[in-house]
Amino acid sequence: MGGVLLDPLTEAQVVARVMAAAERGAGGHIVTPNVDICRAAARDPSLRALIDAAELAVADGMPLVWASRLLGRPLPERVTGADLIWSLTGAAAARGLPVYLIGGPPGVAVAARDTLCERHQGLVVAGVHAPPYGFETDPAALAEVRERLVAARPSLVFVGLGFPRQDRLIAELRADLPGAWFVGCGAAIAFAAGSVRRAPGWMGDHGLEWLYRLISEPKRLARRYLVDDLPFAFRILSGALLRRVFRARVLRRVRRKG
């Protein structure tokens, strides 16, 4: 969708795949493209390559799900980082797999850790880290992130720095922990901590989570959602609809000739 290859998986199937791989000692990277990420990847081939290199790419955005249905290759559901942080940590707790959280302002990852541990009895959070903004351009700060993560040796790492920063960091760190699964989870750590409110479920199910976030943070998000993302979403949906209509016409002509 939007030039990005997506895996047609449910959230439960993602969790099952990750747990099965983790038990074999095989790691990976999960990326959750939405309209904004697809738009960025369409403009920058390096970002598309970053997504393509991930073991799993699942749609975090109802417009992508709708477009897939129009094309006749339906994605089963929307799968978000904000949901995976709960389901994957629950599965990790059941199997005794340690988890690590990277991202958020100071104190947010700690609050998310406490909330996740309250929800999932037995969950082991091997560490949390809220590196300062711009740390990825500071060799010493980046080295600290790497050293703390490697020392913790988690099986599951949530990196909530926003795309593409989080996924570029994951690409940097994967070789140090080849058996770990990394999840680029955006605002999921802040959602889990309760420092940022998530849209009600019905809004997400109807493709309106962007509207909730726009109302919550209009100055920061107005240009992204209204100027950049909405036209791109329209192009994805209209393009899928046109391809569906064209395919239907071709099939009718073939049937007539047959």
Q: Say which CATH superfamily domain 11-246 falls into.
A: Response regulator (3.40.50.2300)
CB under 8 A, 24+ apart: contacts of 251-258: none
| Residue linked to tokens 């209509």 | 245
Q: What is the CA radius of gyration of the chain?
A: 19
- pTM score, two decimals? 0.91
Instruction: Quote the pLDDT of residue 258.
Output: 63
CA distances from 37 to 15, 40, 42, 107, 250 (A): 22, 5, 9, 27, 33
Closest CA to 79 of 16, 15, 10: 10
Instruction: Quote the pLDDT of residue 22.
Output: 94
Domain-wise residue ranges, the chain: 11-246
Residue 85 amino acid letter:
I
Give mean pLDDT in consecutive 10-residue pieces for the chain, a chain of 258 residues: 89 98 95 95 94 96 93 94 97 97 94 97 96 91 95 97 96 95 96 92 88 90 91 91 80 74
Instruction: Quote the pLDDT of residue 133.
Output: 87
Instruction: Quote the pLDDT of residue 94.
Output: 97
CA distances from 104 to 13, 164, 190 (A): 28, 15, 6
DSSP assignment letter at 130: -
